[in-house]
Every structure is written in structure tokens, then in C-alpha cells.
Structure 1
Amino acid sequence: MDGLILAGWVAAILIGMTLALIGAGGSILTVPVLVYLFGIPPVLATAYSLFVVGLTALAGSVSLIRKGAVRLPLVALFAAPSLLAVWLTRAWLLPSIPDPIWQSGSVVVGKDSFILILFAALMLAASVSMIRNGNQEPSGTQRIRHGWIALEGLIVGVLTGLVGAGGGFLIIPVLVLAAGLSMTEAVGTSLVIIAIKSLIGFTGDLGHQPVDWMFLATFSLLPLAGMAIGQRLVPYFNSQHLKKAFGYFVLLTGSAMILVELIRI
């Protein structure tokens, strides 16, 4: 088996473990793995990412719902505007983006490069959020800021639609700071939101992208296994320390992606 392909299958397991341990970051790994290890075109990779991360988050959220670690009213408040935004973005906005986006002489910025650079920029923002907010906890009982949560849902929906990112690194800080949830509740609630909007977003691609269902089904099984492994490891790790360490990894990966794409341009 080709070394890159083998690394891709191993990385698929790590995607599920990441979601289980810190409640975010799965899609941050999924798109680069699909593009650089499996050679999937970037726009199609973002669609696959929505399916894989959505399915994995759904599986991981079941046990947390049973444990009462999910605030369903907040799921509805965040997910309603997010669902609309992600579906419209995948079904209408993304297909309407021209290719190439910009050209001047020999310099051509294609749609694929634009998507990857945008995704890498989002990775850098995610890394800063993870590093700075690694020890974030609510200060106590506070009034839920419904408008801010709904607005964030809309913004995350557009970003999810454009680059296939679940957005857990954006969702969790809002749930902690604007809703006063504990980290356990924020992670559980985030997983449910990610599952719903990612899977709905994927349906917006049907008819626009040629889906290899055999590959997608096979690839999706490994993050599910990783999620099961990660949930067993949760008691043995400090999720805040893991989030900071993962943040530095994402920072390096995002920087490398931008460098690679700029060289290609």
C-alpha cells in the first residue's frame, strides 16, 4: 500500500479521536487528509468532510445526550440559522464561484487554490482560538445571549458551507462565554450542532459533486472507530491541555498549506 494512503487511513482514526477528546478539530484534519494524502479535489473534499465529520459527531453525541451533557434548546437556537446558511452555501454559493477566480498574466488563482487557502486561513484562526482559550471556563451563572448565539450560528454555517469545517473551535467558545455552559456541556452540545449542520450541508452537494460512495463509506468507518477509542481515553487526558497542543499542530499545518498553495500559484 502506498505510504500516503496508509497515512491517510491512520489519520482518519485520529479524526474521530480528536472529536471525542476535545469536541472540535475533526474537519480541520479531514480536508487536508483527503486532499494531500488521497488526492481528492478540494471542493469534493469539503463535501466528503461534511459527511465524515457529521456522521462521526452524530455517533459521538449519542452517549452524551444520554448523560445529559447536551443542552437541546441551545442546539435549536444555534442550528436553525446555521442549517439555512450551510445548505444555501453548498447548494448555491459554492457552485457559483468562478474558476479561475482571478488571473493576471501568468498568475492564476483557481477555485481549488482559493478554497484551500481559505481553509488554511480558517485553520490559523482555529489554532489561535484553541491556544488562547485552552483553559476557558464559564465564570458562573449568566444570562444567555440569544442574539449573539444565533448570529454566530449563521456565520459558522457560511464557513461550514464554504470549506467543509464543522466549526467546533468557534462553537465551543460561544457556548461557554455566551451561554455559560461548562466545557463538558459545550463539547456535547457542539457535537450535536456539528452533526446536524454538517449532514444537512452535505445534502446540498448531491447533484453538484460526483460522490464515490464506496470510498466515502470506507473512510467514514475509521473516524467512528477513532471516536470510540477517544471516548474511552477521555478520563485519562486533560482536554484543555490537549486542545492547546492540537492548536499548535493546526497552526503549523495551516501555515504549511498556505505556503504550498502560494508556491503552486
Structure 2
Amino acid sequence: MTILLVTLALALLVGVSVGLLGGGGSILAVPILVYVAGLDPKVAIATSLVVVGATAAAGAIPHALAGRVQWRTAAIFGVTGMVGAYGGGRAAAFVPGEWLLAAFGVMMAVTAVAMLGGGRRPSTEPRTGPLPLGHIVVEGLVIGAVTGLVGAGGGFLVVPALVLLGGVPMATAVGTSLVVIAVKSGAGLLGYLSSTSVDWRLAAAFTAAAIVGSLGGGRLAGRVPDETLRRAFGWFVLAMGVVMIMQQFLP
């Protein structure tokens, strides 16, 4: 019971991360489910897809109401991401769980460095023109495959792609990312269910707590400056990536 209560308390933080930063849910959920709840890595990844997908859908609501979603980008990113995520989820059956967690940590660290180290600075005004279709399709397929393979909702890759490559303001990237995460997580879960089961009772409890946190995080997002959100996201992802890598390679 103590482990369950601790797990659910941490689930609130997962939700706040998703609602505030547009990602980071799986970055927290997978380690919590593996190291706190004691799940097998692949079961934890599949369960995190349930949690992150539902939480992202709930967290997207306040962003959508505030006009912080680029719907065309979200739709194209979402469809191509679903294709990649399903393929990644099927491929995960052939990769050891420890390798998946290690790869997860490395990708987190690389993404964080990109967010903290530069690239294109996001504009302070919403982008006036649509993002190039070709870029969205390629990024959607690649990030979707990562989503399905390592159980990441993809926000820690979608947000930097929109901010650094698309010049989208951080708050808008967060809202758009949440819509993308919701649909891609569902596709990745379908791929995983072909070879892995989900602890549905734990997933439901974890998701309920995370949704409460995501709604609060979504309300805060519009009040925090873009640059502050961007740097907080980068440092957060870097710290979690280092922890994940150390867990896999240190005795």
C-alpha cells in the first residue's frame, strides 16, 4: 500500500510536467513504474503509453481553449506519428528492455542539450505561416517510431522540433505537442499490446492522478515566459536522462 501511495503521489508530478511542459510524462512515468512500482521495463513502457496518452489529452484542453494549438501541424504530426509509433511498438518486442531504457536516457540527454545550447530562438509572437509539410511528415514518422519503441509520448522530441526547427513559441509548441502525444501514444500502445500486457488497474489509478496534475500544469503554462519554460524543460530532461543512463550502466 505504501508503494502504491508513493507511486500515485509521483503520478501527480507526471501530470504537472505534461500540462506545463508539453512532455516529460513518459520521462517520469517509466522510471517511476520500473524503480518504484517494480514493473518489468517493457510492461512499464506499455503502461506509460496509457498514462501519457490519456493525460496529454486532458492536458491539451486548457491549451486548446486558450488558442495555443496549431491544429494543422498537430493533425499531420499526429497521423504520421501514429504510423511510426505503431511500427516502433511492434519492433520493441525484439529489443531487450534494458537496451530500451538506455536508449531512452541517451535520447533525453541529446534533446536537452539541443534545447539548452541554442538552435533557432523561438519567436515571441505566434508563427504566421504553416510549417513545411515535408518537415512535419519526416519528423512525425521518426518521432513516432521513437514513441512506440521506448514508450515516450514524444513531447521531449516534439517540443524541441517545433521550437528549434519550426520557430514556434514555446507555449504554442506545448499545446500542439499534447495533441500529438495523445494520438501517438495510442498507436504505440496498440503496437506494444501485440507482445506485452498492461497492468490496467495500476494504469487507471496512475492516469487519474496524472490527469489532475496535468490540468493544473496546463493552467500554469500560459503564465510562464517562453524562455523560462524552454530552459526548465531542457534542464529537466537532461537531469532525468543522466539518471536513466546511470541506472543502466553503473553496477
Question: Which amino acid counterpart does residue 94 of structure 1 have in structure 2?
Answer: A
| AA at the equivalent of 2:27 | I
Q: Post-superposition shift, 1:117?
A: 0.7
Deviation at 1:247, TM superposition (A): 2.9
Q: 1:64 to 1:242 in 2, by over 3 A?
A: closer
Q: Confirm or deny: 8 A CA contact 2:147 2:185 kept in the other structure.
A: yes
Q: Which residue of 2 aligns with 1:168?
A: 155
2:172 aligns with: 185
Q: Is the 8 A contact 2:60 2:218 kept in 1?
A: no
**Secondary structure of 2:192's match?**
coil
Please say if 1:117 is aligned against 2:102.
Answer: yes
Match runs of 1:200-215 below 5 Å:
200-215=187-202
Partner of 2:80 in structure 1?
A: 81
From 63, 79, 92, the equivalent of 1:94 is 92
- Shift in Å at residue 7 of structure 1? 3.4
Say whether the 8 Å CA contact 2:49–2:153 is kept in structure 1: yes
Change (3 A) 1:239 1:26: farther
1:112 offset after TM fit, Å? 2.0
What is the Cα deviation at residue 90 of structure 1? 1.0
Structure 1: gaps spanning 5 or more residues: 98-110
Conservation of the 8 A alpha-carbon contact between 2:144 and 2:184:
yes
Kindly provide the CA deviation profile for residues 98-129 of structure 1, in whole angstroms up to 9, marking residues without a partner as x: xxxxxxxxxxxxx1211111111122123223
Give the direction of change, closer, same or farther, for the CA distance of 1:62–1:142 in structure 2 (3 Å limit). Answer: closer
Aligned residue-pair number? 249
Q: Report the TM-score, using the length of structure 1 for normalisation.
A: 0.84
Supply the distance in 1 between the matched residues of 2:164 and 2:114 (Cα, whole angstroms): 13
SS at match of 1:204: helix
Moved more, 243-252 or 216-225: 243-252
After superposition, the Cα gap between the structure-2 partners of 1:173 and 1:37, relative to the gap in structure 1 and judged at 3 Å, is: same
Bigger shift: 64-73 or 154-163?
64-73
Higher radius of gyration, 1 or 2: 1
- 1:232–1:84 distance in 2 versus 1, CA, 3 Å: closer
Give me the whole-angstrom Cα distance separating, in 1, the residues matched to 2:159 and 2:50.
20
Q: 1:62 to 1:133 in 2, by over 3 A?
A: farther
Q: Residues 137 and 182 of structure 1 are in contact (CA less than 8 Å); yes or no, is this contact kept in structure 2?
A: yes
Which whole-Å CA distance do the structure 1 matches of 2:86 and 2:217 have between them? Answer: 30
8 Å Cα contact 2:46/2:197 also seen in 1: no
Q: Residues 212 and 184 from structure 1, CA distance in 2 versus in 1: closer, same or farther, beyond 3 angstroms? A: same
Shift of residue 183, structure 1, vs aligned partner: 2.6
Aligned to 1:29: 28
Q: What residue ranges of structure 2 are gaps of 5+ in the alignment?
A: none
Q: Conserved in 1, the CA contact under 8 Å of 2:171 and 2:221?
A: no
Q: CA deviation at 1:242?
A: 4.3
Q: Which amino acid aligns with 2:238?
A: L
| CA distance in structure 2 between the aligned counterparts of 1:39 and 1:69, rounded to whole angstroms | 37
Residues 137-162 of structure 1: CA deviation (Å, up to 9, x unaligned): 13864563221221111110111111
Identity within the alignment, %? 39
Alignment match, 1:138: 123
Deviation at 1:169, TM superposition (A): 2.5
Instruction: Report if aligned partners of 1:34, 1:40 keep a CA contact under 8 Å in 2.
Output: yes
Range 247-256 or range 19-28, more displaced:
247-256
Is the CA contact (8 Å cut-off) linking 1:50 and 1:199 kept in structure 2?
yes
- Paired letter, 1:222: A
Normalization by structure 2: what TM-score?
Answer: 0.88
Change in 2 beyond 3 A, CA 1:68/1:229: closer
The residue identity in structure 1 corresponding to 2:12 is: I
